[in-house]
Amino acid sequence: MDSQMKRGILEMCILYQFLSTDYYGYDIMVKMKRYFPDVKDSTFYVILRRLNAEGYTDIYYGNTSNGPQRKYYRITEHGKKYLNTSLESWKQLKIITKELGIS
Amino acid sequence: MSILYKDDYLEKLKNAMLFHFSHKDILSTLEDVSLLFESSTADGKTEAELCRELGTPKEFSHSLLSNKSSNKFRPFLLCIYTIICFIMCMLTFCYPSFLLSIITLLIIPISIWYLEGSYCLLQVRPDTIKNYKIYFLFSIISLILIFIEQIFTYLLHNDIRISNSLIITTFYASSAFIIISIATLMTAIYKLHKGYYLSFGILPISIGAICSSLLYNDYIKRFSSPATSYNICSLPFILGLLMGVFYYWNILKKKDKKLWIHK
């Protein structure tokens, strides 16, 4: 898959996960790895970083009772708007490809 | 790919990111990756397993780099920055003024500190010294530039007159003293009793060269024989050069000592 396209899809998938709950870096990587086993962890990290840099997510630190300190990511309002736009584009793309007989 | 562990991975990642990313980016990435290691260990995964999943440090760095296209020119910009620093030095040596000397006084240590990766401190194991050849490269380039400066100064002969060379030299010496004091203090704070700073090797050489230049310019004011002044005025530079070479030689020789950079 084209890396640019893959990145866009991964971005959308990761942001979508943040709608339901906040995740720490490793947690979201493990979850995404189940669906995208060929993608390197570094790619997920780069996407997380980009989402944060663009202001689509913000971070906060949390502690678990016995475990290490964790850096949690949560979606921002700006991120929700961006996700909605991405989802709209994705739906349109699905309709177009279906009409073209792809899939 | 050889088996890597957390410390090795972070160190190699830091090396791969140096000169391509800002220090802030490097610090935050190292912190994030370190947290990933902690989380994965808590999850029952070994450090080696996570290293494999992250990809090689170079791949990791490339992934980050591909996401930040503007930073691809960072090494080029650093070279431009170095050249600007050199021009500033040349101007100060050849046309000294109080203001210019203060500007250069700030630029020289800051540029060395910046090129070495600036503000954070991380331990570098002596056996990984080969990873730091880039610092030696910069030191060698600086040395060559200083040699060129010396030749240039000698060629100028009687056209240069310095009235405030003592003040300028005092400023340079003071700055060197301040830098070394701060580094010593930092070393004490971080309990680095056996630590070395790579960039300090260039410091005595630079100070020697500056003193040589200033002495030469003052000397030829009173004596007209360039040959004599050449010999006498070269002494600080030769002394600084010997000290610098001894410093680097000491780093390479004493493998048991820790080597530190201003990362």
Structure tokens at A21: 């709950």
Query: Considering only CB atoms, which chain B residues are within 8 Å of A42?
Result: 54-55, 59-60, 63-64
pTM, full prediction: 0.52
**What pLDDT does residue B21 have?**
72
Residue of B254, B39, B49, B179 whose CA lies nearest to A70? B39
**What pLDDT does residue A79 have?**
93
The alpha carbon of residue A19 is apart from the nearest alpha carbon of chain B, in Å, by: 22
**What pLDDT does residue B135 have?**
53
Which of B29, B53, B64 has the CB atom closest to A41's CB atom?
B53
In this predicted structure, the answer to whether residue A34 has a pLDDT above a threshold of 80 is yes
8 Å CB contact of B67 and A45: no
- Output phi, psi for A37, to 5 deg: -65, -20
8 Å CB contact of B63 and A42: yes
**What pLDDT does residue B10 have?**
85
Q: Tell me whether A27 touches chain B (CB under 8 Å).
A: yes
In this predicted structure, the answer to whether residue A35 has a pLDDT above a threshold of 60 is yes
**What pLDDT does residue B123 have?**
41
**What pLDDT does residue A39 have?**
86
In this predicted structure, the answer to whether residue A60 has a pLDDT above a threshold of 70 is yes
**What pLDDT does residue B229 have?**
47
Report residues of chain B scoring pLDDT below 70: 1-3, 18-20, 22-23, 68-79, 81-82, 85-86, 88-203, 210, 212-234, 248, 251-263
8 Å CB contact of B54 and A40: yes
- Output phi, psi for A84, to 5 deg: -60, -45
Report d(CA A28, CA B63) in Å as an integer: 18
CB atoms within 10 A of CB A84: 11
**What pLDDT does residue B131 have?**
47
In this predicted structure, the answer to whether residue A11 has a pLDDT above a threshold of 80 is yes
pLDDT band at A101 (very low <50, low <70, confident <90, very high): confident
